[in-house]
Structure 1
Amino acid sequence: MTDHNRELLERLWPMDGQLALSAEAEHEMRAEDYVLEMPQSGERIVGRDTMRAMQQQYPNPPSIEIQRITGAGDHFVVLGRSDYGGDIFYVANIVEFQDGQIARETRIYGSPFEAPEWRAKYADPS
Structure 2
Amino acid sequence: MDGQLALSAEAEHELRTDDYVLEMPQSGERIAGRDRMRAMQQEYPNPPSIQVLRITGAGNYFVVLGRSDYGGDIYYVANVVEFRDGRIARETRVYGSPFDPPEWRAKYASPAD
For the criterion TM > 0.5, the same-fold answer is yes
Structure 1 unaligned regions, length at least 5: 1-13
Q: How does 1:1-126 map to 2 (within 5 A)?
A: 15-19=2-6, 21-126=7-112
> How many residues are treated as equivalent by the alignment?
112
Distance 1:47 1:15 in 2: 30
Distance 1:86 1:60 in 2: 12
Identity across the alignment (%): 77
For 1:7, the equivalent position in structure 2 comes to: none
Which of the two has greater strand per residue?
Answer: 2
Q: Which amino acid aligns with 1:30?
A: R
Structure 2 unaligned regions, length at least 5: none
Distance 1:110 1:125 in 2: 18
CA RMSD, 1 decimal: 1.4
Q: Which amino acid aligns with 1:17?
A: Q
Distance 2:101 2:67 in 1: 17
Whether contact under 8 Å (2:67, 2:77) holds in the other structure is: yes
Q: Which amino acid aligns with 1:124?
A: S
Which of the two has greater helix per residue?
Answer: 1
Distance 2:106 2:51 in 1: 24
TM-score (norm 2): 0.93
Distance 1:75 1:18 in 2: 19
Distance 1:87 1:76 in 2: 26
Distance 2:41 2:27 in 1: 17
Q: In the TM superposition, what whole-angstrom CA distance separates every residue of 1:2-26 from its partner, at most 9, and x where no partner exists? A: xxxxxxxxxxxx943141x221111
TM-score (norm 1): 0.84
